[in-house]
Chain A
Amino acid sequence: MESTMLAKAIVMAGSAIGAGLAMIAGIGPGIGQGFAAGKAAEAVGRQPEAKGDITSTMLFGCAVAESTGIYGLVVAMILLFVNPFIGKL
């Protein structure tokens, strides 16, 4: 009884640490989206009349670039709320 409690605690701690580590993936899209937004600002500065097209293209690119960060988030959420490893004990 005591040892299963301990095992559970270790698994939950590992899951929490893993979720935190998974969110490191947020760095990538952050840099990428910042870069894209900077380039879009440059483009608007150069061609203010194309602002609408530039904005929609940038939003589309940002949302696609975001997917790697979202993978990290999904993995973190699964680790935190679904606890898939507890059932493996």
Chain B
Amino acid sequence: MNIEITGPKVMFEIAGIRITETVVNGWIVILLVSILSYFLTRNLQTKNPSKRQLVTEKIYFMLMNLVTGVMGKKWVRFAPYICALFAYSMFGSLISLTGLRAVTGDLSTTAAMAVLTTIMVIVTHIRTKGVGGWLKSYAEPVAVITPINIISEIANPVSMAFRHFGNIAAGIVITSLMYAALAAASNLLLGWIPVEFIANIPILQVGIPAVLSIYFDLFTGFLQAYIICMLTMVNVSGAGE
């Protein structure tokens, strides 16, 4: 039994900066999303729209309705960021379907997302209420409660980052445990065959992990992308009221 569960591996070094799998896969995801956006938004026409344009419009209205429904019409300028976050998070999780390591299965990625959200919340707060109003909001409703407010301000991005990371990383760990268990089980099933080649075929690894993959890659990936966007929207629009 050799089950290997590790974090993202270091692929190479550039000038002393270690480039991990996460960064490389992140570049792939960025490239993929960019190509997809470029491809989907070419040759848009008002009359006789192509099928590609209909898909584009469907995606656009779905995300736009989500943003305006949760944040309201006046925050529509945040829609591009939310859509980018959604696309990066979702494709970052879905990339594990190709056998690469999920980008969001690294705490650094999700922590970066959470820190960006926190910066946006603080900036929005200062923009609507001024620096004084922002500082004063920590002493509300009473001044005694200030330390608790500060803790909750820190706990918010931490919980956001851990939630997304934990879900995806749990999927990675459980999937690799499952692969090891299936290899052992198929060894038990076929191990009595004297021909070495046949005895080593991990026959149970065909098909069964796909069921897990539907839950851990497709469902969790989509749900966590939805949730991180939802929390960003709720926090930002809450800060600007």
Contact = CB atoms under 8 A, between A and B. Distances in A.
Contact of B159 (A59, A67, A81): A67
Contacts of B162: 67, 70-71, 74
Nearest to A80: B5
Interface residues of B, number: 18
Interface in B4-62: 5-7
Contacts of B7: 81
B163 A77 contact: no
B5 A70 contact: no
Majority-rule SS of B interface residues: helix
B227 A63 contact: yes
Interface of B: 5-7, 159, 162-163, 165-167, 169-170, 173, 223-224, 226-227, 230-231
9 contacts: A63-B227, A66-B163, A67-B159, A70-B162, A73-B166, A74-B165, A74-B166, A74-B169, A77-B173
A67 B163 contact: yes
Contact of A70 (B167, B173, B223, B231): B167
A60 B169 contact: no
Given A63-B163, A66-B163, A71-B166, 12 more contacts: A59-B223, A60-B226, A67-B159, A67-B162, A70-B162, A70-B170, A73-B170, A74-B166, A74-B169, A77-B170, A77-B173, A81-B5
A64 interface: yes
